[in-house]
Structure 1
């Protein structure tokens, strides 16, 4: 089992999470490495928890199926559950937000493509369309009358 862990400084917002629903699937973007031959796929790959692909030999399905071009082995990964939201903590704490059951592969790097959501701490304002590609985000909470931000974003793929 692998997990995607997040550490970030949330100012004025809490419950940071990907906008990931059946109507609006979030595509998680990773660099992938074969655990058999250690070959790293040259491109980033994406997967959604709402899409499944058949494993060859009718062994079931997975959210991501990949055949390594170097050793020709087929590998897979399945997202175990909906992503957890990341709460505001002082100081920021590392928390797993997504878990994967990986067979024959490891995710080595995460890229925060896609839309993220958060909630205003004081006001309850719903923030959508948050872009974390640059590892930071700034906005203004009209109800609270103050700037809100997400900074110091660090992603880590680690053993769950």
Structure 2
């Protein structure tokens, strides 16, 4: 078992508290099987509200997979604490967003997609349904009279 911290980095322009909109967000990861070390081609969706049965066990996990190469079953479970928002103070630096307990697999990449929210740094204007699929987002904060944006998005996993 390994606990992986998902660390997020972006350049924020006049926004703060970037995070998934709710606990029902579908996180998208690339996964590597720890048995055969194969990195699977497809992105997998993991929902922290999901509960999937683990074969031969009474336990459940947010994500359960059987490796298409070695046929081993693996699982991943988000820690129960909520996701941490990415703040303007962290802009340009990696900061932990979530922790995931992995058994038999590791996540090796994260792709943020639609469903993020943020808050205007100067006005507290709420921006919802932010789509980070293209790697950046831009809008305008009417209250503050300032452009807002998220760019240069990167993610990495660290053992915690």
TM-score by length of 2: 0.93
Aligned-residue CA RMSD in angstroms? 1.3
Q: Distance in 1 between matches of 2:134 and 2:110?
A: 13
Q: How has the CA–CA distance of structure 1 residues 2 and 26 changed in structure 2, closer, same or farther, with 3 Å as cutoff?
A: same
Q: What per-residue deviation string (whole Å, max 9, x for no partner) do you get for residues 80-116 of structure 1? A: 0321100102662210101100000011111112310
Q: Distance in 2 between matches of 1:113 and 1:125?
A: 21
Q: What residue in structure 2 maps to residue 32 of structure 1?
A: 31
Q: Distance in 2 between matches of 1:91 and 1:59?
A: 42
TM-score by length of 1: 0.93
- Asked if the contact 2:78/2:100 (under 8 Å) is kept, the reply is yes
Deviating more after overlay: 85-94 vs 74-83: 85-94
Deviation (angstroms), 1:156:
1.2
Report the number of matched residues: 157
Where has structure 1 moved over 4 Å in runs of 4 or more? none
Deviation (angstroms), 1:153:
1.1
Structure 2 spans left out of the alignment, 5+ residues:
none
Structure 1 spans left out of the alignment, 5+ residues:
none
- Asked if the contact 1:26/1:114 (under 8 Å) is kept, the reply is no
Q: Distance in 2 between matches of 1:20 and 1:123?
A: 22
Q: What residue in structure 1 maps to residue 121 of structure 2?
A: 121
SS of the aligned residue for 2:114 comes to: coil
